[in-house]
């Protein structure tokens, strides 16, 4: 399937300029940007359709918890104008439709090979080219390899004895089948109460004969407060597009929510209660981004908000014992990724829904017909594993990527990822991974879009200056990685979230987001530009044309 093309050095060859892996929201944008910039580009995608996370996570109830219009693309006012999101927080089918619309509207589909996984990718130093092997037995040779493989793309199944022996139906939320699952009248178990588990539970509860929720750690769930977008709001969104884009393109975490102007104890107790009620009724992530400024830094401030949520849970859940189990005891609000819910707590008032606290009665094994805990066996027709993902590095570590000297990326990152800007790592020239580890810490498409823009601008810079190999210097990588690690360590929180890889047995405990937020990313990108890419080693491979400028000496040194 290789295409003959003109590569960046001007030579006719079977080498394409850019191979993008992954047709999620980041990969689609990368394909679009690289095509617009005039590169020859292919995209390979493991799924049979576009969407990435929004292709695989098609379980009932899967939806955004960032506002739809802030999550979608902002690069085209025309696209924004013609796509009317139906709800403030779109459900998965609408998002999948949107991404298909984007791909067709910008004529990108013909560059995508679906149902194709990367098995191995090797960097050949002399020509400076990646050879990428796919599971259909073919090879693609590309000057630049861009893995847009996402952070939530490798589902995690816990190592529970007997899991494979279950004779009923079993599904992972992150690998949900395209044909709808029939829950009607079934005895259903949901294992896991992270963002996915708490989304599916209320949606299937009224279809099933019984629903048993296996909870290891209770989460601080607060209302998503979703609703349809009214015609007036649609008009306002369109009229305000440029202003909204400006806010989203510059905000710290990629949200529209306004930050609050004071700390918790600047307000009286009465004013605080009023504010907490206001927060409870506010949309999605505003409970983090528009909360009192000290919510995540002052344990007393955090504790008071948690007490407010606990009181809400007790007021909603009729059975006091169940209510207490649903209230987290071991972490603060924001210490784990807080889920945003619709009718989650209310679901436990249904007579066909029950909660199993795995701290009290751990799962011993999965049997042929059910789940055995310390309390005995319960039979099921369907088991839903809502048990999360190998976050951040999962996909990259499994793609068989080998850089200079045949070093495997999985070995290079054996102690956790080290990156510059969350887009490159030393020893892996011409390899970029926007939307991967150290990439985002908020509304993902906004961060990942910044990274795609940077990658594309970099490829253009290389072409314009006659370079065709780029590798980040060790100093720059060390500086960015230290910033990430130190930023994560200054939080008052413990390292207990999947953000640190702690949900995967044996995974090194390292922070996997960008703890500096977008301002740090913007600052570093500006510095790269202002210093003419001094953070990188830029070279000219043997196949480059004679017109290319000479190698830059000492290019790896940081200013
Ligand atoms: P999460 O947030 O990682 O949640 C996984 C859940 O599975 C969580 O409640 C885990 O409990 C639970 N889990 C994991 N292993 C086990 C075992 N062995 N036994 C019982 N329960 C277990 O993944 P989600 O898919 O919900 O959400 C991922 C992201 O998608 C989310 O953050 C959003 O960005 C969207 P634990 O807390 O580890 O005790």
pLDDT tens digit sequence for 283-317: 999 999 999 999 999 999 999 999 999 999 999 99
Q: Is the CB of 386 under 6 A from ligand 1?
A: yes
C-alpha count within 13 angstroms, C-beta hemisphere, residue 323: 14
Task: Judge contact between 68 and 90, C-beta under 8 A.
Answer: yes
Q: Is the CB of 387 under 6 A from ligand 1?
A: yes
Q: Is the CB of 199 under 6 A from ligand 1?
A: no
**In the chain, pLDDT over 90 holds for what percent of residues?**
91
The pLDDT, as a whole number, for residue 541 is: 75
Q: Which two tokens stand for residue 303?
A: 């504790």
How far is the C-alpha of 436 from the C-alpha of 500, rounded, in Å? 14
Task: Judge contact between 213 and 190, C-beta under 8 A.
Answer: yes
The pLDDT, as a whole number, for residue 154 is: 97
How far is the C-alpha of 239 from the C-alpha of 413, rounded, in Å? 46
How far is the C-alpha of 37 from the C-alpha of 538, rounded, in Å? 20
Residues of the chain with pLDDT under 70: 1-13, 491-492, 542-559
Q: What is the pLDDT of residues 334-366, one digit of tens each?
A: 999 999 999 999 999 999 999 999 999 999 999
Q: Please name the residue whose Cα sits nearest to atom 36 of ligand 1.
A: 217
Q: Is the CB of 53 under 6 A from ligand 1?
A: no
Phi, psi for 350 (deg, rounded to 5) = -75, 140
Q: Please name the residue whose Cα sits nearest to atom 12 of ligand 1.
A: 192
Q: Is the CB of 196 under 6 A from ligand 1?
A: yes
Dihedral angle at the C-alpha atoms of 282, 284, 290, 292, nearest 10 degrees?
80
The pLDDT, as a whole number, for residue 13 is: 55
Q: What is the pLDDT of residues 528-537, one digit of tens each?
A: 999 999 999 9
DSSP H or E stretch at residue 483: helix 474-489
How far is the C-alpha of 304 from the C-alpha of 300, rounded, in Å? 6
- The minimum-distance atom of ligand 1 relative to the CA of 198 is 26
List the one residue out of 517, 438, 523 whose CA is nearest residue 255: 517
Q: Which two tokens stand for residue 280?
A: 């409870």
CA of 385 to the centre of ligand 1 (A): 9
For the chain, give the mean pLDDT.
93
DSSP-derived letter for residue 181 is P
CA of 358 to the centre of ligand 1 (A): 13
Q: Is the CB of 59 under 6 A from ligand 1?
A: no
Q: Which two tokens stand for residue 234?
A: 């649609």
Q: Please name the residue whose Cα sits nearest to atom 17 of ligand 1.
A: 158
Q: Please name the residue whose Cα sits nearest to atom 33 of ligand 1.
A: 195
Phi, psi for 26 (deg, rounded to 5) = -75, -45
Task: Judge contact between 350 and 343, C-beta under 8 A.
Answer: no
CA of 453 to the centre of ligand 1 (A): 32
CA 369 vs. chain centroid, Å, equals 34
CA of 193 to the centre of ligand 1 (A): 6
The partner residues of 129 in beta bridges, in order of sequence, read 124
How far is the C-alpha of 287 from the C-alpha of 338, rounded, in Å? 9
CA of 192 to the centre of ligand 1 (A): 5
The pLDDT, as a whole number, for residue 2 is: 37
DSSP-derived letter for residue 230 is P
How far is the C-alpha of 45 from the C-alpha of 20, rounded, in Å? 9
């Amino acid at each position: 399937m290789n295409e003959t093309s003109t590569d960046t050095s001007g030579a006719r060859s079977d080498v394409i300029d850019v191979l993008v892996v992954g047709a999620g929201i980041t990969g689609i944008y990368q394909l679009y940007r690289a095509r617009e910039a005039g590169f020859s580009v292919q995209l390979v995608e493991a799924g049979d359709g576009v969407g990435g996370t929004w292709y695989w996570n098609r379980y009932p109830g899967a939806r955004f918890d960032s506002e739809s219009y802030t999550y979608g693309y902002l690069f085209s006012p025309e696209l924004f104008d013609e796509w009317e999101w139906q709800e403030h927080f779109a459900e998965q089918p609408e998002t999948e439709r949107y991404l298909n619309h984007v791909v067709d509207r910008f004529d990108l589909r013909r560059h995508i090979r679906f149902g194709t996984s990367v098995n191995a990718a090797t960097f050949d130093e002399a020509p400076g080219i990646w050879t990428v092997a796919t599971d259909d037995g073919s090879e693609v040779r590309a000057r630049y390899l861009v893995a847009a493989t996402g952070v939530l793309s490798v589902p995690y199944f816990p190592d529970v004895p007997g899991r494979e022996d279950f004779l009923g139906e079993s599904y992972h939320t992150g690998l949900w089948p395209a044909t709808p699952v029939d829950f009607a009248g079934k005895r259903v178990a949901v294992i896991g109460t992270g963002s996915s588990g708490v989304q599916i539970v209320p949606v299937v509860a009224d279809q099933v004969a019984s629903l048993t929720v296996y909870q290891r750690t209770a989460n601080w769930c607060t209302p998503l407060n979703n609703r349809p977008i009214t015609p007036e709001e649609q008009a306002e969104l369109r009229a305000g597009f440029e202003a909204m884009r400006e806010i989203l393109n510059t905000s710290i975490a990629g949200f529209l929510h306004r930050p609050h102007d004071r700390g918790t104890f600047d307000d009286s107790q009465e004013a605080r209660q009023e504010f907490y009620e206001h927060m409870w009724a506010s949309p999605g992530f505003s409970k983090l981004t528009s909360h009192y400024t000290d919510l995540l830094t002052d344990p007393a401030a955090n504790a008071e908000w948690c007490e407010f949520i606990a009181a809400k849970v007790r007021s909603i859940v009729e059975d006091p014992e169940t209510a207490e189990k649903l209230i987290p005891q071991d972490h603060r609000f924001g210490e784990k990724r807080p889920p945003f819910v619709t009718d989650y707590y209310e679901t436990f008032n249904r007579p066909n829904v029950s909660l199993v606290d795995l701290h009290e009665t751990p799962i011993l094994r999965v049997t042929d017909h059910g789940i055995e805990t310390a309390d005995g066996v319960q039979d099921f027709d369907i088991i839903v594993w809502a048990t999360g993902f190998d976050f951040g590095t999962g996909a990259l570590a499994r793609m068989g990527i080998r850089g200079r000297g045949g070093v495997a990326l999985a070995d290079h990152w054996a102690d956790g990822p080290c990156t510059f800007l969350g887009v490159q790592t030393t020893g892996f020239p011409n390899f970029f991974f926007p939307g991967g580890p150290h990439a985002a810490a908020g509304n993902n498409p906004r961060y990942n879009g910044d990274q795609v823009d940077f990658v594309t601008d970099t490829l253009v810079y290389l072409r314009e200056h006659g370079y065709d190999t780029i590798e980040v210097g060790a100093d720059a990588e060390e500086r960015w990685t230290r910033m990430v690690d130190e930023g994560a360590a200054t939080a008052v929180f413990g390292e207990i979230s999947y953000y640190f890889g702690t949900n995967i047995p044996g995974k090194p405990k390292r922070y996997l987001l960008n703890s500096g937020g977008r301002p740090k990313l913007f600052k570093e990108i500006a510095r790269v530009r202002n210093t003419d890419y001094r953070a990188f080693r830029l070279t000219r491979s043997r196949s480059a044309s004679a017109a290319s400028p000479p190698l830059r000496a000492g290019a790896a040194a940081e200013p």
